[in-house]
Copies of this chain bind each other. A is one copy, B any other.
Amino acid sequence: MDKKDISPMDKIRIALIGYGYWGPNLLRNALGQPRFDVRCVAERDAARRDKLAAAYPDIALESDGLTAIARDDVDAVIIASPADTHFMLAKAALEQGKHVLAEKPMTTTVADGEALAELAEARGCVLMTDHTFLFTPSVRMIKSLYDDGKLGRLSYVDSTRINLGLFNMEANVLWDLAVHDLAILDFILNEEPVHMTVSSHAHLTEESPDLVHLTTYYPSGTMAHFNLSWLSPVKLRRMVFGGDEQMLIWDDLNNDEKIKIYNSGIKLREESQRHVATAEYRIGDISVPRVPTGEALAGVAAHFAAVIDGREESIMDGRRAVRIIRILERAQALLDENRRQIAAAKQ
């Protein structure tokens, strides 16, 4: 079945699949999006369905995701079920000509992701993944500074995403935390890494790393390093963008000074290329732009609506989502190799 066009006069009728940890936030923001008419929520757990019925008597409830997707009064589905069900549900939706917004990761393999991307293109449907950070004012501001040349050529990115705790029981620290960094870098640089290295440590269980250092190299010359950990006594969410014009630090936990732009850098003096002795430092002013506040998920919902309406180009379509899964797959392979090497070295 091919996609039906939705007139700007009509609302986009939505089904939400899965009402777990993240579900209430998605529902609240879907309800808040003027283009959306939330018709149905599918949730396996009866107790959660009862709660939903009490709070939202006008929304239809289903116990099964496929039934919700198949409803005649549904134009688009938001998939918030466990990651390993995304492919099956999204495939069903796209085959019925319905638009899809899936939680990250879109699928658990590149092959599944590519199949969905092809299917979406064949049916003319929107296929989008909720990489929420792309919709934060901070990432938008960094992207815009970079595109405007304010940072210059990006020499390196150094990210620290560490805290105490295992919030995600389905994924290791790579799939749970690195996925954010990789989506942000993909969005800002619009490049795929040509080389990667990984080192890791497994504290809690031997099988699954809870501390990973991932380095990615991009064709344009940028090197990015990601420090990812569930074992840190303090929580840090901090990315440094080392441009050759200016440098930028995004400290996502500092509400008053989220972004700092340093007019600092190092260059070789013209007259003496190759001589370290004549490196030229510049330490200048710092500026701290005011970053607007606002919930990222509202932006995700608005973008999904706008892409369905044809008012905006997708910044996170199926092909792009696959690119991020491909990096995760490659990183996972390197990580497995790293674990083997460490084990061998210790014998």
Contact = CB atoms under 8 A, between A and B. Distances in A.
A223 B240 contact: no
A311 to B, nearest CB: 30
A144 interface: no
B231 A155 contact: yes
A165 B230 CA distance: 32
Contacts of A279: 165-166, 204
A19 to B, nearest CB: 19
A47 interface: no
Interface in A225-239: 225, 227, 229-235
Nearest to A338: B197
B288 A286 contact: yes
Among A204, A247, A281, A284, chain B packs the most CB atoms within 10 A around the CB of A204
A287 B290 contact: no
Given A165-B266, A217-B346, A288-B285, A156 B201 contact: yes
Q: Which of A201, A205, A227 has the most CB of B within 10 A?
A: A201
B195 A223 contact: no
Interface in A261-316: 262, 264-268, 274, 276-277, 279, 281, 283-290
A233 to B, nearest CB: 4
Interface of A: 155-156, 158, 164-166, 169, 194-195, 197-201, 203-205, 207-208, 210-211, 213, 215, 217, 219, 221, 223, 225, 227, 229-235, 240, 242, 244, 247, 249, 256-257, 260, 262, 264-268, 274, 276-277, 279, 281, 283-290, 338, 341-342, 345-346
A225 B213 contact: yes
Contacts of A223: 199-201, 211
B345 A194 contact: yes
- Chain A interface, DSSP helix/strand/loop, else mixed: strand
B217 A345 contact: yes
A76 B210 CA distance: 50
Given A197-B199, A346-B217, A283 B156 contact: no
12 contacts: A164-B265, A164-B266, A166-B279, A195-B342, A197-B198, A197-B338, A204-B279, A205-B268, A217-B345, A260-B288, A285-B288, A287-B288
Given A165-B281, A266-B164, A341 B195 contact: yes
A256 B286 CA distance: 10
Given A225-B227, A231-B155, A262-B233, A283 B290 contact: yes
Given A156-B201, A266-B166, A290-B283, A247 B230 contact: no
Given A205-B276, A233-B264, A286-B287, 19 more contacts: A155-B203, A155-B231, A156-B201, A156-B203, A158-B232, A164-B266, A195-B341, A197-B198, A203-B242, A203-B244, A204-B266, A217-B342, A217-B346, A230-B266, A232-B240, A233-B240, A235-B256, A285-B287, A285-B289
B156 A231 contact: yes
B232 A195 contact: no
Given A203-B266, A230-B266, A279-B166, A194 B290 contact: no
Contacts of A346: 194-195, 217, 219, 221
A345 B221 CA distance: 11
